[in-house]
Amino acid sequence: MKRVVIAFVAGALLMVSGQAMADSISRIGKKVGGEAAVYLNGKQLSDAIIVDDKSYAPVRDIAEAFGADVGFEGATTESKAVIDLKTETEGGEVVPEVPTETLSPDQIAEKINNLKWTRDSHIRKIDLLKDAIRRADDGQFKPTTEEYAQFKTDLAYYESELVKVENEIEAIESAQ
């Protein structure tokens, strides 16, 4: 029974992570899996979208925060669209212009709750992956070499995402 449960968990993780690792040429038509706040020096700039476990941040908002002029040239039949960033610096230093955003206490609480939910989800995934790796190392089940490598890759990914989420929670809570 334990092997069936472990195999089911391993299969579910591989199914999801395999999709996340797939890379395609175009993101057009892909399903948005979530949103993430984009912060600069503790101030929220904008929101990024998450597609296939990769975040896509708004170039214009970030570039303008660093004082860049943003140009856009639409796609033609012969070329892709072009986003052109130009900066002028004084003394070689770019100083970001962080917009101030005022959130209501309810909005702040909701944002923190969502981040804590994401944090808890990452912790659960990390625990499952560590358990699967431990069981494989102990010989309790035999994943393929590719499956084992994917467990390790997913573990590193979720651990790094956990750090990001915890930093974001800390930034919001310390800004209050």
164 pLDDT higher than 80:
yes
pTM of the complete model = 0.45
* Confidence at 14, pLDDT banded by 50, 70, 90: low
Residue 96 exposure: Cα atoms within 13 Å on the Cβ side: 15
Instruction: Specify the length of the chain in residues.
Output: 176
Instruction: For 99-149, write each residue's pLDDT tens digit.
Output: 556 778 888 888 889 999 999 999 999 999 999 999 999 999 899 999 999
* Confidence at 79, pLDDT banded by 50, 70, 90: confident
C-alpha span between 169 and 164 (Å, rounded): 9
Tell me if 81 sits within 8 A of 28, measured CB to CB.
no
Token pair in block for residue 113 = 């709750």
* b/e burial code for range 118-127 (CB count within 10 A of at least 16 → b): bbeebeebbe
